[in-house]
Structure 1
Amino acid sequence: MSLVVQKFGGTSVADPEKILSAARKAIRAQQAGKQVVVVVSAMGHNTDLLIDLAGQINEAPPAREMDMLLSTGEQVSVALMAMAVHSLGYKAVSMTGAQMGIQTDSSFTKARIRNISPERIQKLLNDGNIVIAAGFQGIDDDFNITTLGRGGSDTTAVALAAVLHADACEIHTDVDGVYTTDPRQLPEARQMSRIGYDEMLELASLGAGVMHNRSIEFAKKYGVPIHVRSSFSDTRGTLIVSESESPSAPVSGAAMTRDEARITVQGVPDNPGTSYELFKLLADVKITVDMIVQNVGEQNRADISFTVPKEELKRAAETVRFAVTRIGATGFTSDDEVSKISVVGNGMSRQTGVAQKMFRAIADAGINIQMITTSEIKISVLVARASAQAALRAVHQSFELYRKPADAADWSELPTRKSKEADIQSLVADLHAVDMEQLSLSEISLSEDQARITLSGVPDSPGLAAEVFEAVASKGIFVDMIVQSYDGYQGQTGISFTVPRAQYAECSKLFGTLSQKFEVRQVSGSEEIAKLSVSGIGLRSHTGVAIGMFEVLAEAGINVEMINTSELRVNVVVEGAQGERALKCLQAKFAANLI
């Protein structure tokens, strides 16, 4: 018999009428011949009320007791949902995380799932019950109640779908699917019929509130199809699966992370270990670092720029002030009035010209780009917050995201998980391993076929990036990794990018003739670089990957020339002669996480 996991968020179970509506959806699925597990969140704003109540009692409540308190919200919901199913004449059993056998580590308020023992759930399903599961919670080895942190009910739902080998995980929410951008920001946003796991993972990390990134990591790792649909209607919604909506469209979505802050550490000694020491200090005080950009240095000094959430800027600045002295940098600047604009799409890895198209759209809107970082399926830029919405609209229109691609897949029946029996046995063994949420790296790679071009002292003005990369594109030169750091010194910036080594001479010659046009102070480069990449599932939720890379390379005395990061991959550029040795260092560091 097929099995479906349905998840209902807080707004979907906010009152008795909505609880009864959700119960009817579960019953209809059972009547259609499916076994049904329903995962529910706390009602409405109940979790916020509990947090406020705790704050009135204790300004710094113990994390263990917060988990004990917050878990009660979901227990109320599951009991009421089970009562609703019974009132409609069907069988249901409510279960807490502990009763379901959801085993976690002991990281209170942000626990990770280690394993799930589904035998009790499966027995109840086989007896004809609809199982009502409390989201957001589990139990550790000492029988303490733990909670999974933000988006925890999504994570519970997808994890249960994985271990029960469900055909699908339905996420019922107050929106009717995944859109090309936030429709609250741009009314012209279009609902997509489907989106790939990698694309959704990037968009989730950029603030798309439909799904939390940990749940998408689970779905990708265990091949769980997700169906995002409205709690209040029977519209088709959006599928999150391995395939993109359109095989030809370079970009599937755009996003704005509004409340960002930028820090630039200036004059960092261009020596092995400085990046590691800086970001280790930030990690020790639990600062959330997002967009990391390190450009090639001049006179043995480099600038490192990164973003943090606006509300963390004050603490981050205090740490950076100490770090500047410790690592021998010359100073730092910060700005809490910036926003990040990103485009995401599996298709950009197969097409050229995506970056310059984005830059041109922003330039034509008269908006200056302060920072750039790219990955295989994402391009992010930093702009002034006052210009953020205009920049989002410009890129959304430039890529015609409001228009359904001609080759877009029509909405069809939800694909089932297609696994051979051997694959199922392997999956079950993995699900009962020590840590279901462990970092899972798919690749540690070395690319030695690229070269680097660096433009130093470039006027920091709107349209600069567009003109630079349009000039490169006009010569048919393929650009891979792009880094624009923020300098702020005398209105100048620096841009570095990598190109195929076979095209280095042509590109270097191009900027030899264009340096005066762009008013570039200096054009430099290297034909002998090595690009190292670590990619896989869990880079967002396991924040130590980049730091681990910096650490092991520093210990080996290998200097990092360029850095950029994404949810799926961390890239660094080192001197070409150091490539093989750097690769061996990274392989040794992350060997246990390779799958």
Structure 2
Amino acid sequence: MSLIVQKFGGTSVADCEKIVAAARKAIRAQKQGHQVVMVVSAMGKNTDVLVDLARQINDHPPAREMDMLLSTGEQVSVALMAMAIHSLGAKAVSLTGAQIGIKTDSTHTKARIISIETERVKELLDAGNIVIAAGFQGIDENLNITTLGRGGSDTTAVALAAVLDADACEIYTDVDGVYTTDPRLLAEARRVLQISYDEMLELASLGAGVMHSRSVEFAKKFGVPIHVRSSFSDITGTMIVDQPESNTRPVGGAAMTKNEARVTIEGVPDVPGISHELFHSIASKAISVDMIVQDIGADGRANISFTVPRDELEQTLDAVRSASDILKYENVRHDEEVSKISVVGLGMAEQSGVADKMFRVLADNKINIQMITTSEIKISVLVAREDAQRALAAVHSGFLLDVTPDDAPESVAAVSREREHDAAEVVSRLRTMEDLTIDSIVLDDSQSVIALRRVPDHPGIAARVFEAIAAEGILVDMIVQNVGRGDAANLSLTVPKSDSEQALVVAKRIGDELGAEEILCKADAAKLSVSGIGLRSHTGVGIRMFRALSDAGINVELINTSEVMVNVIVEGKQGQAGLDVLNKAFADVLLD
């Protein structure tokens, strides 16, 4: 008998009528011959109400007690859901995370799953019950209740689907699938019938709103097909699987992360170890760093910029100041009125011209770019928050995301995944299901770096540069734009060594037109890339990478990051040594 995990979010169980409607969906699936596990969130805004109550009592409530409080929201929901199913004539049993046997570490409010027991759930399913699991929660080794953080019910659902070897994990939400961007932000957003794990992982981490990034990590790691569906209709929804919607279009989605803050550390010594010291100080405060860019240094100094959630800015600045004696920086600047706009697509790895098209679209709308980072399947830019909505609309329209591709699937297809026949092996793997997994560590020594320093900062800089480069048929790999001193920007890019002289000629011509103070070329560069699942949710990844290179005396000259990759540029002659130390540093989490 097949097994389906159905997850219902807060809006899907916001009142008794919606709880009964969800119960009917579960019963219908059971009558169709499936065993059904439901994962249920707290009703509506119940979690927000509980948080508000806590703040009324204590401005800084203990994390353990917050977990105790917040876990009650799901307990209410699962009990009511079981009652609803019984009232409709079917059998159901509700279970808390602890009763299921979801074991976590002791990081309250942001706990990570260590293992999940399956025996009790399987016994209840075999007895004909619909099992209703409280999402978002578990229990640590000291029997303390823990919660998994925002989006934790998605994580619970996909984790249960993995450990139970479910045929699919259905995510019921207030939208009827995954859209090319959040339809609550842009009316032109289009529902897609299929999207790849990698694209969804980037979009989820970027604030797309439908799926939590850690749950997508699980799905990819364990091959769980996810079916995103509406709680309020029978529309087929969207499948999240291995392949994208289109094999011809380079971009599949766009996203806006609205409430970002940018921190720029000016004039740090351009020597080994500085990146490690900076981000070690920040990671010690458990702050989630998003975009990281470091441009090519000059006169022994470099600038490093990064973004953090707006509400973590003050804590971040405290961490930076506490390390001032070590970092020896000249100045620290910040801006809490910025947003990140990103485009994502597997096709970017195969098609050129995506970056210059994005930059041109923004320039034509007179939107200034403050920072740029790129990966193989994502381009992110930082813009003023007041421009964010216009920027999202511009790139969405510019890449025709509102138009269905000619090669898009016509319907949601059933997906069969490879089954794990050894249940003990599955459980063993899931004991470390939240651990970092590194897919690859790669050295690319075929690149050169071109840098335009202190370019007057105004809309259209990036568009001008990359259109000129593209016109010469030169392929660009990494793109980094950082905030320069005063009203200026620093722009760096990597190109094939064979094209470096031609690229430098173009850069000098465009740099002169734009008023750049200096044009640099590092003809012999090496790019080191660490890619895998969990990079953003594991704050120590960059630390481990920067520490390993620092300990080997290898200076990091350029940095850019994505949700699933960290790229650095080092001197070409140090590339192989860098690869060796990174392989050693990540040996415990590197896939064979």
| TM-score bucket (shorter structure) | over 0.9
Question: 1:146 corresponds to which residue?
Answer: 146
- State the Cα deviation string for residues 120-142 of structure 1 (Å, max 9, x = none): 11111111111111111111122
Question: 1:367 corresponds to which residue?
Answer: 367
> Of residues 561, 567, 579 in structure 2, which corresponds to 1:565?
561
1:459 matches 2:456 = yes
Report if the CA contact (8 A) 2:165-2:419 is conserved: no
Query: In the TM superposition, what is the alpha-carbon distance from 1:55 to its structure 2 partner?
Result: 2.9
Query: In the TM superposition, what is the alpha-carbon distance from 1:107 to its structure 2 partner?
Result: 1.2
* TM, length-normalised to structure 2: 0.97
1:437 matches 2:434 = yes
Report if the CA contact (8 A) 2:5-2:36 is conserved: yes
> Of residues 524, 529, 543 in structure 2, which corresponds to 1:528?
524
Mapped to 2, the partners of 1:429 and 1:261 lie a distance apart of: 40
- State the Cα deviation string for residues 193-237 of structure 1 (Å, max 9, x = none): 111111111111111111111101100100111111111111111
Mapped to 2, the partners of 1:572 and 1:36 lie a distance apart of: 46
Mapped to 2, the partners of 1:515 and 1:565 lie a distance apart of: 25
Report if the CA contact (8 A) 1:225-1:414 is conserved: no
Q: Which runs of 5+ in 1 are unaligned?
A: none
Matching of residues 245-324 of structure 1 within 5 Å: 245-324=245-324
SS of match in other structure, 2:166 = coil
SS of match in other structure, 2:519 = strand
Count of aligned pairs between the two proteins:
591
In structure 2, what residue type is equivalent to 1:356? Answer: D
Question: 1:585 corresponds to which residue?
Answer: 581
Question: 1:18 corresponds to which residue?
Answer: 18
Report if the CA contact (8 A) 1:288-1:309 is conserved: yes
1:216 matches 2:216 = yes
Question: 2:572 corresponds to which residue?
Answer: 576
Matching of residues 147-546 of structure 1 within 5 Å: 147-419=147-419, 421=421, 426-431=425-430, 433=431, 435-489=432-486, 491-546=487-542
Q: Which runs of 5+ in 2 are unaligned?
A: none
Query: In the TM superposition, what is the alpha-carbon distance from 1:70 to its structure 2 partner?
Result: 1.7
Report if the CA contact (8 A) 2:254-2:392 is conserved: yes
- State the Cα deviation string for residues 405-455 of structure 1 (Å, max 9, x = none): 111122233312134747x77544412x4x221111111111111111111
In structure 2, what residue type is equivalent to 1:496? Answer: S
Query: In the TM superposition, what is the alpha-carbon distance from 1:588 to its structure 2 partner?
Result: 1.3
- State the Cα deviation string for residues 316-353 of structure 1 (Å, max 9, x = none): 22333343443211112111221111101111011100
SS of match in other structure, 2:90 = coil
Shift of the 380–25 alpha-carbon distance from structure 1 to 2, 3 Å rule, reads: same
* TM, length-normalised to structure 1: 0.97
Mapped to 1, the partners of 2:320 and 2:446 lie a distance apart of: 36
Query: In the TM superposition, what is the alpha-carbon distance from 1:401 to its structure 2 partner?
Result: 0.5
Query: In the TM superposition, what is the alpha-carbon distance from 1:550 to its structure 2 partner?
Result: 1.1
In structure 2, what residue type is equivalent to 1:457? Answer: R
Query: In the TM superposition, what is the alpha-carbon distance from 1:284 to its structure 2 partner?
Result: 1.9
Query: In the TM superposition, what is the alpha-carbon distance from 1:311 to its structure 2 partner?
Result: 2.0
Identity of aligned residues (%): 63
Question: 1:550 corresponds to which residue?
Answer: 546
Report if the CA contact (8 A) 2:8-2:231 is conserved: yes
Mapped to 2, the partners of 1:513 and 1:106 lie a distance apart of: 57
In structure 2, what residue type is equivalent to 1:36? Answer: V
Q: Which moved more, 1:325-334 or 1:296-305?
A: 325-334
Mapped to 2, the partners of 1:322 and 1:421 lie a distance apart of: 52
Mapped to 1, the partners of 2:59 and 2:328 lie a distance apart of: 38
- State the Cα deviation string for residues 10-39 of structure 1 (Å, max 9, x = none): 111121111111000000000111010001
Matching of residues 106-145 of structure 1 within 5 Å: 106-145=106-145
- State the Cα deviation string for residues 366-409 of structure 1 (Å, max 9, x = none): 11111111111110111111111111111111101000011112
Report if the CA contact (8 A) 2:115-2:427 is conserved: no
Query: In the TM superposition, what is the alpha-carbon distance from 1:283 to its structure 2 partner?
Result: 1.7
Report if the CA contact (8 A) 1:268-1:301 is conserved: yes
Mapped to 1, the partners of 2:22 and 2:292 lie a distance apart of: 43
Report if the CA contact (8 A) 2:455-2:511 is conserved: no
SS of match in other structure, 1:526 = strand
Mapped to 1, the partners of 2:368 and 2:57 lie a distance apart of: 48
In structure 1, what residue type is equivalent to 2:539? Answer: T
Shift of the 49–518 alpha-carbon distance from structure 1 to 2, 3 Å rule, reads: closer
- State the Cα deviation string for residues 247-278 of structure 1 (Å, max 9, x = none): 11100111111121111111111011111111
Report if the CA contact (8 A) 1:324-1:330 is conserved: no
In structure 2, what residue type is equivalent to 1:564? Answer: N
Report if the CA contact (8 A) 1:324-1:332 is conserved: no
Report if the CA contact (8 A) 2:358-2:395 is conserved: yes
User: RMSD of aligned C-alpha atoms?
Assistant: 1.5
Q: Which moved more, 1:412-421 or 1:202-211?
A: 412-421
Q: Which moved more, 1:207-216 or 1:62-71?
A: 62-71
Query: In the TM superposition, what is the alpha-carbon distance from 1:563 to its structure 2 partner?
Result: 0.5
SS of match in other structure, 1:381 = strand
Report if the CA contact (8 A) 1:324-1:331 is conserved: no
In structure 1, what residue type is equivalent to 2:31? Answer: Q
In structure 2, what residue type is equivalent to 1:261? Answer: A
Mapped to 2, the partners of 1:144 and 1:457 lie a distance apart of: 54
SS of match in other structure, 1:73 = helix
